[in-house]
Amino acid sequence: MSVRKQSNGNWMADIRIDVFTRYRKTFKTKAEATRFEAHVRAKHAEGDTEDWNPAKADKRRLSDLIELWYSHHGVHLARSYTRRKILLRICKVLKNPVAKKLRPNAYLEYRHRRFEQGIAAKTLNNELGYLNAMYSFLHKTQQIKYPPPLANVKPIKIKERELSFLTLDQCHELLRRCKESGSRSLYMVVRICLETGCRWNEAQQLKRSQIVNARITFTDTKSGKNRTVPITKELEAEIQAYEPTGQDNRLFATATKALFIVLKKCSFTLPKGQASHVLRHTYASHFMMNGGDILTLQRILGHSTVTLTMRYSHLAPEHLQQAINYRPKVQISD
């Protein structure tokens, strides 16, 4: 008999599907046990047995999931080692909890401590994004059966800040001081950044083979896509004449520290966090102020969407000109 009453008054659903498959479960009423039996038999008829073959509790630790994610997906991403290092550091501070039991309140306490230590909100938002992306990948690939536990945690709202850029006089001063520093790599890297809008590392990692026909092709970019930017014949000649000082066939030696030293000697001061990146902002800002269009700038900068590039749109000469042209033409009479 599939449903029978027990001595304690409860009802047992004892369902044998075949020689190898059997389910037993206790209920308080006969109706519940009967419904359970019907449901199990219907599921088996449909070929769906997952609900009635529960897997063992997932006791894997957060560190286990990080390594699983890294080997299956993270290793193929740009700067994969850095992201793995960040995730493992978070894991250590959180005391490597059972991954399934990571609770939003525990993470929020961690984030608050980091915020009080002076960590930038953007960095904290990146950390949250890395954790959610890891859980999401494992969930989508059915390597965990639960959704990301921090999916409902909102990133910190960041006030949009004005992007700083250098005036032409400041550009000339910076290049002059770079020359005076004695670092040939520094001067060339700064000049390439100012004349192409590339990222600092993209310029530092250049090889001679990337400069052809007055064009630089940037590879191993942040977006993972190569892009080509025209340069003047003058700059091309200077790069081709440059005697390499870098390693692994790279043209330039690392010059990041030299840049910080030079910036301290300049008459202008940059906002915190906008040292080398101000060169990229400077190119984009002058491009728009000189009448360039936003879609061309997007391709030059290598932005995956035009949304990021739109930060520079207000610098275009015609920006919001319609605010004047189409305003209500009111006049107060005497």
Contact present, 240 and 208 (Cβ < 8 Å): yes
Read off the amino acid at residue 291: G
User: How would you class 71 by CB atoms within 10 Å of its CB: exposed for 0-12, middle for 13-18, buried for 19 or more?
Assistant: exposed
* Distance from the Cα of residue 141 to its chain's centroid: 20
Give catalytic status of residue 222 as yes or no: yes
Catalytic member of 222, 227, 250, 311: 222
- Of 207, 247, 227, the C-alpha closest to 296 is 227
Distance of alpha carbon 218 from alpha carbon 198, whole angstroms? 8
Question: Is 277 designated active site?
Answer: yes
Q: Which of the residues 83, 111, 177, 280 is marked catalytic?
A: 280
Is 319 a known active-site residue? Answer: no
**Catalytic pick from 61, 114, 277, 311?**
277
Q: CB count, 10 Å around CB of 294?
A: 15
Count Cα atoms within 13 angstroms, Cβ side, for 220: 11
Distance CA 116, CA 107 (A): 14
CA dist., res. 203 & res. 191, Å (int): 9
Which residue in the list 25, 139, 303, 311 is annotated as catalytic? Answer: 303
Q: Write down the catalytic residue from 199, 281, 283, 286.
A: 199
Known active-site residue 280: yes
Instruction: Tell me which residues are annotated as active site.
Output: 199, 222, 277, 280, 303, 312
